[in-house]
Amino acid sequence: MLNTEMFNYDLPQEYIAQTPVEPRDHSRLMVYDRGDKSTRHLHFYDLIDYLAPGDALVINQTRVLPARLFGTNAKSGGAIEVLLLTRHDIDTWEVLVRPGKKARIGTRISFGPELTATVTGILDDGQRMVHFEYDGVFEEILDRLGQTPLPPYITQRLEDRERYQTVYARENGSAAAPTAGLHFTPELLQRIKDKGVKVIPVLLHVGLGTFRPVKVEDVTKHKMHSEFYSISPEAANEINAVKAAGGRIFAVGTTTTRVLETASDDGGMLHSGSGWTDIFIYPGYRFKCIDSLITNFHLPQSTLIMLVSALCSREEILGLYETAKQMNYRFFSFGDAMLIL
């Protein structure tokens, strides 16, 4: 049995990054070569040295919603916090509500004169379905009333909420950032393109389920939350052409990896389209599309550390994490990065 505890490690609080590095690409970069098992310690802007003309850098262009709303129970006046997770139709969302016991079916929540919500359903995991009512454009109202949802391990206030967006974020829909992409600057991306590397966008709207610890003892029994993805015909054709010509596919982050592996067939051909994916990648998985991964350091017992352990091995990843601690790397969303070749 693949036990969840096998992916645990000790991380003192002081290693968790609370603030982003400036400039973005000056964060540290650990480079691990799976071929010769070598490790190098550089800066993120050195990434360009590992990319070659004809390779592809695949990015997730999702944008984090200002998805945290603070309202009141329209009947009792009690405070209620709502976190948007997944949009099911134009006005219906799956959400996380705190306190949940105050959000029974039929509960109306007011966020001010321009926005209200009614709880219409309770899901098996305790999350709610709510229907919003408003005057105007929902996205504009959300931009005025909502706050960017930072992970709970970040306790310091973020002055510029754009700093929790990638510089190439385009399509609203995520509850959390695809954090490996936070290290890129427009200048670094341009240098990568000028080198002859294709920068190709795909889309996966990141849900909170990706980041939650696995709570079942047997890893294989864990059920992933579904997330919406989309790959354009142009992106699929470009990626397939790079692979056919012998170029390498560098996935920026676990979210990009999940898109590419979801939409690839067993022969490695990537197919365009959109839909919902609950793919769960853990050791024993055979990768079909990606060759290399750019990623951050991940939470213990999370699906993300299991994914990177499938690309190397559990022992290698946990060993690299111990090295990172010894060398004072910064962990998680605003932390440093790793390149797995």
pLDDT higher than 90, residue 209: no
pLDDT of residue 133: 95
pLDDT tens digits, 249-273: 999 999 999 999 999 999 999 999 9
pLDDT of residue 228: 93
pLDDT of residue 44: 98
Q: Is 148:66 a contact under the CB 8 Å cutoff?
A: yes
- Which of 93-107, 256-270, 293-307 comes out lowest in average pLDDT? 93-107
* Selected residue with higher pLDDT from 261 and 158: 261
The neighbouring-strand residues paired with 132 are 117
Read off the pLDDT band of 211 (50, 70, 90): low
pLDDT tens digits, 36-83: 999 999 999 999 999 999 999 999 999 999 999 999 988 788 899 999
Instruction: Report strand pairing: 292-296 vs 249-252.
Output: parallel
pLDDT above 90: percentage of residues in the chain: 80
pLDDT higher than 90, residue 93: yes
Token code pair at residue 120:
């219409």
pLDDT of residue 41: 98
Q: What is the mean pLDDT of the chain?
A: 94
Give, in order, the Cα–Cα distances in Å from 138 to each of 27, 73, 247, 315.
Answer: 36, 20, 42, 47
Read off the pLDDT band of 308 (50, 70, 90): very high
- Which of 5-9, 220-224, 278-282 comes out lowest in average pLDDT? 220-224
Q: Is 339:180 a contact under the CB 8 Å cutoff?
A: no
Token code pair at residue 312:
């190397």
pLDDT above 70: percentage of residues in the chain: 99
pLDDT of residue 236: 98
- pTM for the whole structure: 0.92
Task: Produce one character per residue of 216-228: b if its CB has 16 or more CB atoms within 10 Å, e if not.
Answer: eeebeebebbebb
Give, in order, the Cα–Cα distances in Å from 338 to each of 32, 96, 297.
Answer: 7, 31, 7
The four Cα atoms 198, 199, 204, 207 give a dihedral, to 10 degrees, of: 140
